[in-house]
Amino acid sequence: MPVLLMFVCANIFRARILAEQSKGNALFDVADKTALITGGGSGIGAFMASALSDAGAKILVVGRRRDRLEAVLGQREGGIFSFDLGQNGATSRLAEVVANAGFSPDVIVNAAGVNPRLHADSIDEAGWLETVHLNLSVPFLVAQAFAPQMKSRGWGRIINIASLQSFRAFENGIAYGAAKGGIVQLTRAMAEAWSNHGITANAIAPGFFPTELTAPVFGNPEIAEKHAAQTAIGRNGALEDLRGPLLFLASDASAYVTGQTLAVDGGYTAK
C-alpha cells in the first residue's frame, strides 16, 4: 500500500475512533443542565451536588443548614436555598423561590432524609410521621413541583435515594425502612406518570457509605466490618463509588432506563 494511502487510512481510522469517543462522552454530558439536590449540605447529597458540578452542571443545593450549603457551593455555579422541607407547603415555596431566582431544574436528586433509629416499640406517632414525610412524601412533592417545567422541555431526570432497607429489614429501622421501601414503588409510579414526557425516574440504593446518617455504624469498627463482610466485594462504600451511577442516571446515557432502582452496594443484596 502506498505510503500516502496508508497515511490517509490511518487518519480516517483515528478520526472515527475520536468521533466514537466523543459520542460516548456526550452521552454522560450534563454541562448544559441545572440540578437541584435536596439534602445538599451533607453526606450523599453534598457529594452528589459536587459530582454534578464537577461534570459541568449548575447546582441548586437545598437544606436546612445554610453554612453547610455555602460550603458545598463554594465558587461553583448555582444557588443556595435554605429550606426545612419538613414544613407544610415548603416544596411549593421552594419551587417559587427557585423560579424567581431564574433557575429551572433539569435534574432532581432527592437526597434529604432522616433516620431516628428507634425500635418499633419505641417510636411515637410524631417520629413516625416525620420520618415517612421527609423520606417518602418530600421526594414526591419536590418532583411534582418541578415536573411541569421538565414536561415543557420534554426532558428531565429524577433520581431518588433508596436504601438497603428498601429490600431488607434492619434493627431499629421500622419507620426508615417503610419509607425507603416506599421509595422503590414511588420511583416506579413517577416513571409511569411522567416518562412519556421525556422525564425518567430512577433510584440509587446505596449500601453502607460513611455519612452523618451512618455515623453510628462507622463509629463502631466491629459493626462496620460486619457489614463490609456481607458485601460481595468485601468492603463498605466510598462516596466516589456513587459518581458513575449518578452521572449515568442524570444524563442521556440512561434515556431508556426508567422506574428502576440501582443498588450500589458492593453486592450486599446479592448475597
189-237 pLDDT tens trace: 999 999 999 999 999 999 999 998 888 889 999 999 999 999 999 999 9
Question: What CA–CA distance (Å, rounded) separates 166 from 181?
Answer: 4
Confidence of residue 10 (pLDDT cuts 50, 70, 90): low
Nearest to 113 by CA among 90, 131, 95: 131
| pLDDT surpassing 80 at residue 176 | yes
The full DSSP string for 59-79 is: EEEEES-HHHHHHHHTTSSEE
List, edge to edge, every strand of the sheet that includes 199-206.
78-82, 58-63, 34-38, 107-110, 156-161, 199-206, 261-264
Q: Which of 176, 194, 209, 248 is catalytic?
A: 176
User: Dihedral of the CA atoms 261, 264, 268, 269 (nearest 10)?
Assistant: 10
Lowest mean pLDDT among 113-122, 158-167, 214-223: 214-223
- Is 176 designated active site? yes
| pLDDT surpassing 90 at residue 19 | no
Question: What is the structure's pLDDT at 208?
Answer: 94
- Residue 245: CB partners within 8 Å, gap ≥ 6? 204, 262, 264
The CATH homologous superfamily to which domain 32-270 belongs is NAD(P)-binding Rossmann-like Domain (3.40.50.720)
**Global confidence as pTM:** 0.89
Instruction: List the chain domain ranges.
Output: 1-30, 32-270
